[in-house]
């Protein structure tokens, strides 16, 4: 690595914009350190030196920042609906960055603030017809925008060699699911009321990789010192976004309302006029070029949100199904394989998944015993798992065990818990970081109606499913709002080889569901963001009885039923 290349320090290095900047800097051979809230595996692979901390608090990160020649401040609370207190976090972070930058002394070449078009907005009398420029007066309409405007002021009066970049609406396949154009696309796919109108208002749209290139250009170009730049990309109408997401829907034209926009609140004015467009000619004059057209950038978002909205749509990464050789796993594989370009079928039955692959040649397979921690770790480090990020994990593989506590060995019970619980936990934990980074993911845990009560005679099996149910529900709440959904399925008895392998007696009068019935129900639930789904009337009855009966009665009842039926 050339020692003449400046060393960079990036705040918010694991964020949407910061990550793109780190990737481009490392590709160019720069030494990069980054402030993160928690260690990030992808940044580690890029060999970005990570410093864990909070930009508003002093810590080791300040030493790392002051030892760099270029500091790029990306970290921010980016919620436009944030409160005054939440937005103040941005100002406090800006002050700490400037403190660290001043400690760098003459070694500092540039400190760059990634601001926002929201720092400018429009005054009440502005007709919103002319694009914003670096000289436009600041009239931020949100607490977030005001915090960015205050950070800009602090950078300008700092006496440091600063530059400021104001992005337009930043888009890309890994943008937050609750952010501007993601929300527009979701509205169109749901046919929500706002999407029934063809709004002519235009917004400047820039792909995250183009923004990263613009920020890097400003951070090193000698003519960028002491200046403010827009990195705005191309203007796109809201109606065009709705059309991309849902091209066949009828929308009522709203251009007739445009002449009256001057009398409306700013948010409505922005839907009718080019209120949030900006001129980035000064940045282009430095040599920066737009490489990703706005339409291509938005189509990444459309593809992701369509996958969220409709399970028949392909997912951004790969789909992984465990227990794919038989039973419910096979039923799910048969439904998803024709719909997924990248699908990985996992089972310890090599012949079974080979047979399935013969029917779906594009599917990849991996032979794995989920009871082996060593094999699981080898799998998680294999190209089969790492080549593509996991967007869907359908965890079907499970074991049953019939008998009293002293009728089976400790090893038998431990094996059941490893397969039914620990293996699912390990795979889900390994999949979650990429899912959260994509702001898209589905994890489906297959539990059982046995999860609702103790089952004497199958105690470990019921306990493992109860633990899985509680884990799935709690994890779903923990990651709520991340764009990742965890669905826990509790079916009743199914017509599979479970009974034979678990040593459970089959009854001629017993009516068992076909795996395909449960698979069809799961397919219907995938886009609904459900957390727990109980399948079959009998399973609902078991769940209700567990809630209504006193605990002692429930245990006694199930002891009698299990000894008589199983």
Helix (H, G, I), strand (E, B) or coil at 487: strand
Q: Do 317 and 437 belong to one domain?
A: yes
Reply yes or no on whether the pLDDT at 401 is more than 90. Answer: no
Token pair 């039926």 in the structure block, residue:
565
Q: State phi, psi for 38 to the nearest 5 degrees.
A: -150, 155
Q: How many CA atoms lie within 13 A of 561 on its CB side?
A: 12
Tokens standing for residue 206: 């820039």
Q: Do 531 and 478 belong to one domain?
A: yes
Which strands, in side-by-side order, build the sheet including 234-237? 169-171, 202-207, 234-237
Tokens standing for residue 473: 């529900």
Q: Do 316 and 283 belong to one domain?
A: no
Domain enclosing residue 137, as ranges: 8-174+204-234+274-296
Q: CA 214 → CA 5, 15, 153, 222, 440, distances in Å?
A: 18, 17, 21, 14, 27
Pairing mode, if any, of strands 484-491 and 441-446?
Answer: parallel
Reply yes or no on whether the pLDDT at 81 is more than 70. Answer: no
The model carries a pTM of 0.86
Tokens standing for residue 419: 């397969």
Q: Do 137 and 83 belong to one domain?
A: yes
Tokens standing for residue 74: 């990306």
Residue 243 is assigned to a structural domain of this protein: no
Reply yes or no on whether the pLDDT at 254 is more than 50. Answer: yes
Residue 328 is assigned to a structural domain of this protein: yes
Domain count, the chain: 2
Q: Do 287 and 343 belong to one domain?
A: no
Tokens standing for residue 442: 């589905």
Q: How many CA atoms lie within 13 A of 263 on its CB side?
A: 4
Q: Do 216 and 341 belong to one domain?
A: no
Q: Do 223 and 341 belong to one domain?
A: no
Asked whether the beta carbons of 218 and 229 are under 8 A apart, the reply is yes
Asked whether the beta carbons of 34 and 9 are under 8 A apart, the reply is yes
Q: CA 93 → CA 108, 150, 250, 351, distances in Å?
A: 19, 11, 46, 57
Helix (H, G, I), strand (E, B) or coil at 36: strand
Residue 352 is assigned to a structural domain of this protein: yes
Residue 251 is assigned to a structural domain of this protein: no
Q: Do 526 and 472 belong to one domain?
A: yes
Q: State phi, psi for 417 to the nearest 5 degrees.
A: -65, -35
Q: CA 302 → CA 102, 171, 243, 343, 365, distances in Å?
A: 43, 11, 10, 21, 30
Return the closest-CA partner of residue 331 out of 510, 496, 504: 496
Q: Tabulate helix, strand, coil % of the chain (nearest 5).
A: 50, 15, 35
* CATH number for the domain that contains residue 103: 3.40.50.720
Q: Do 222 and 315 belong to one domain?
A: no
Could you report the per-residue pLDDT of 193-210, keeping only the tens digit for each?
999 999 999 999 999 999
Reply yes or no on whether the pLDDT at 73 is more than 60. Answer: yes
Q: Do 291 and 372 belong to one domain?
A: no
Could you report the per-residue pLDDT of 479-511, keeping only the tens digit for each?
998 999 999 999 877 666 654 554 455 555 557
Q: What are the start-end ranges of the H helices in 106-220?
A: 143-156, 180-190, 208-220
Token pair 């080898």 in the structure block, residue:
378
Residue 182 is assigned to a structural domain of this protein: no
Q: Do 422 and 527 belong to one domain?
A: yes
**Per-residue pLDDT at 417:** 94
Neighbours of 403 (CB within 10 A): 15
Asked whether the beta carbons of 57 and 96 are under 8 A apart, the reply is yes
Q: Do 221 and 339 belong to one domain?
A: no
Residue 166 is assigned to a structural domain of this protein: yes
pLDDT category at 86 given cuts 50, 70, 90 is: confident
């Amino acid at each position: 690595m050339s020692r003449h290349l400046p060393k960079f320090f990036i705040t918010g290095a694991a964020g949407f914009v910061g990550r793109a900047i780190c990737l481009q800097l490392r590709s160019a051979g720069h030494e990069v350190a980054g402030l993160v809230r928690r260690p990030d595996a992808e940044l580690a692979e890029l060999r970005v030196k990570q410093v864990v901390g909070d930009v508003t608090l002093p810590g080791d990160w300040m030493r790392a920042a002051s030892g760099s020649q270029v500091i790029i401040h990306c970290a921010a609370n980016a919620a436009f609906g944030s409160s005054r207190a939440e937005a103040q976090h941005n100002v406090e972070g800006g002050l700490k960055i400037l403190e660290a930058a001043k400690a760098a002394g003459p070694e500092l070449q540039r400190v760059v603030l990634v601001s926002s078009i929201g720092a400018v907005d429009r005054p009440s009398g502005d007709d919103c017809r002319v694009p914003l420029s670096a000289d436009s007066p600041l009239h931020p309409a949100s607490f977030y925008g005001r915090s960015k405007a205050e950070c800009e002021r602090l950078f300008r009066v700092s006496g440091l060699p600063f530059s400021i970049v104001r992005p337009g609406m930043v888009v890309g396949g890994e943008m937050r699911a609750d952010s501007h154009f993601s929300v527009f696309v979701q509205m169109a796919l749901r046919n929500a009321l706002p999407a029934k109108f063809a709004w002519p208002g235009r917004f400047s749209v820039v792909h995250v990789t183009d923004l990263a290139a613009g920020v890097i250009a400003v951070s090193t170009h000698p003519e960028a010192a002491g200046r403010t730049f827009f990195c705005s990309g191309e203007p796109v109408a809201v109606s065009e976004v709705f059309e991309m997401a849902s091209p066949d829907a009828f929308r009522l034209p709203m251009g007739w309302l445009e002449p009256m926009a001057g009398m409306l609140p700013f948010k409505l004015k922005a839907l009718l006029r080019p209120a949030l467009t900006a001129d980035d000619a000064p940045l282009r004059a430095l040599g920066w070029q737009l490489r990703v057209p706005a339409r291509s950038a938005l189509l990444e978002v459309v593809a992701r949100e369509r996958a969220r909205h409709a399970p028949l749509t392909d997912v951004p990464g790969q789909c992984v199904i465990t227990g794919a050789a038989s039973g419910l796993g096979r039923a799910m594989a048969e439904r998803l394989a024709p719909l997924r370009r990248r699908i990985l079928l996992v089972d310890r039955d090599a012949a079974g998944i080979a047979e399935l692959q013969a029917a779906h040649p594009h599917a990849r397979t991996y032979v794995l015993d989920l009871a082996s921690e060593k094999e699981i770790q080898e799998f998680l480090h294999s190209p089969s798992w790492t080549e593509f990020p996991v967007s869907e994990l359908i965890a079907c593989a499970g074991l049953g065990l019939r008998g009293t506590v002293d009728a089976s060995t400790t090893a038998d019970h431990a094996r059941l818990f490893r397969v039914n619980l620990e293996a699912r936990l390990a795979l889900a934990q390994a999949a979650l970081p990429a899912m959260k980074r994509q702001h898209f993911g589905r994890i489906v845990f297959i539990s059982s109606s046995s999860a609702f009560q103790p089952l004497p005679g199958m105690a470990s099996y019921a306990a493992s499913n109860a633990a899985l149910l509680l884990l799935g529900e709690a994890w779903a709440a923990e990651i709520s709002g991340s764009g990742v959904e965890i669905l826990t399925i509790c079916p009743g008895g199914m017509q599979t080889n479970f009974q034979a392998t678990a040593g459970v007696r089959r009854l001629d009068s017993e009516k068992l569901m076909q795996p395909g019935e449960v698979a069809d129900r799961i397919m219907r639930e995938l886009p609904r963001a459900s957390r727990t789904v109980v399948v079959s009337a009998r399973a609902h009855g078991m769940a209700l009885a567990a809630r209504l009966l006193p605990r002692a009665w429930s245990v006694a009842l199930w002891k009698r039923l299990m000894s008589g039926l199983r």
